[in-house]
Amino acid sequence: MTVARKREGEAMTSDGEWAVILGVTGGTGGAVARALARSPGLNVFGMHRGHYPEQAEAVARDVQGAGRRCHLVQSGAATPEEVRRGTEELATVAGPRSVRVLVHAIANASYGHFFAPGRKRFEPAHFRKTFEAMSDSFVYWTQALLDRDLLADGARLIAFSNPMVDSVVTGWGLVSAAKAALEQYVRHLGHEIGPMGYRVMMLKFGLVDTVAVQRAFEPGEWARVRREIAAGTPARRLSTVEEVARVVSFLAGPEGEWFHAATIDLTGGQTGALLDGIFNPRRLDEPG
């Protein structure tokens, strides 16, 4: 594990509260880091495996530009051992009970099929990788932060989901399954640690333009997917990572106190009109 950015002579105790962001160099994780540094004004401890060094530099620059500390660790953050090492390092920069928000923004899934002749089949290693990265690690981090007494009073633990969990998109079955498990983890954790004052929630948002989704399509296909999803969304556009990040800031602040043990829908109705698109090929706002 290497520390990608640490100020010369940086104090080993926190001078404020922290956001822990897993997948901090991604589209969503990066936007959330910037937003939380501004409001409610948190230092950022972020983890990523190093595929996007320019984004890591940019996140560190922007967080520090907002007057907050940024400590990025270049390492996986999904396996129990990675979580153990990550929280060990976190404890050297953040004081006890100083983590205000945990945001799980890791995207690392296998694509394939459960049984489709002639198509790539999911093997046990695909299940393990996807579940560990996309869902189980949220629980590992929660456990480790509690074990080390790093969570601030009333801390918020935030996971992300997408509308696929309510649908069937062939090829993406393991993503849906992992998100479904994550939703249950959020509900159960909510009941287990809610009485201690912590808040656990899942934010479900629609397609946003990030590496994770772009990588899943050929460039031309991606343009078509974007266009068709925008057309089926009531606002007639995709949401942005900045819009998602602003909601995370809100949830992290005092106004977010009562969001708990639940999935919050931020999809903007993105998949609500799938049947409408079949029944009525011409949309209401198209010329008749």
Does 263 engage in binding with ligand NAP (CB under 6 A)? Answer: no
Q: Report, in Å, the least distance between residue 92 CB and ligand NAP.
A: 19
Half-sphere exposure of 202 (CA within 13 A, CB side): 26
Total residues at interface with ligand NAP (CB under 6 A) = 31
Residue 32 makes contact with ligand NAP by CB under 6 A: no
Q: Can residue 268 be called a binding residue for ligand NAP (CB under 6 A)?
A: no
Kindly tell me which of 78 and 174 has the beta carbon lying closer to ligand NAP.
78
Please compute, for residue 32, the number of CA atoms within 13 A of its CA located in the half-sphere on the CB side. Answer: 31
Contact between 48 and ligand NAP per CB under 6 A: yes
CB closer to ligand NAP out of 211 and 264: 211
**Candidate list 51, 120, 224, 237; residue touching ligand NAP; CB under 6 A:** 51
* Residue 256 interacting with ligand NAP (CB under 6 A): no
Residue 11 vs residues 34, 72, 251: alpha-carbon distances, Å: 22, 15, 29
What residue type is 58 in one-letter code?
Answer: A
What are the CA-CA distances from residue 88 to residues 81, 82, 125, 160 (Å)?
10, 10, 27, 24
Between the two ends of the chain, the Cα-to-Cα distance in Å is 60
CB-nearer residue toward ligand NAP: 193 or 208: 208
Task: Confirm or reject binding of residue 60 to ligand NAP (CB under 6 A).
Answer: no
d(CA 77, CA 149): 19
Decide: is 190 part of the binding site for ligand NAP (CB under 6 A). no
22 counts as binding ligand NAP under rule CB under 6 A: yes
| Positive or negative: CA dihedral 163, 250, 100, 62 | positive
Where on the chain is the footprint of ligand NAP (CB under 6 A)? 22-29, 47-52, 76-78, 105-108, 133, 160, 162, 205, 207-208, 210-213
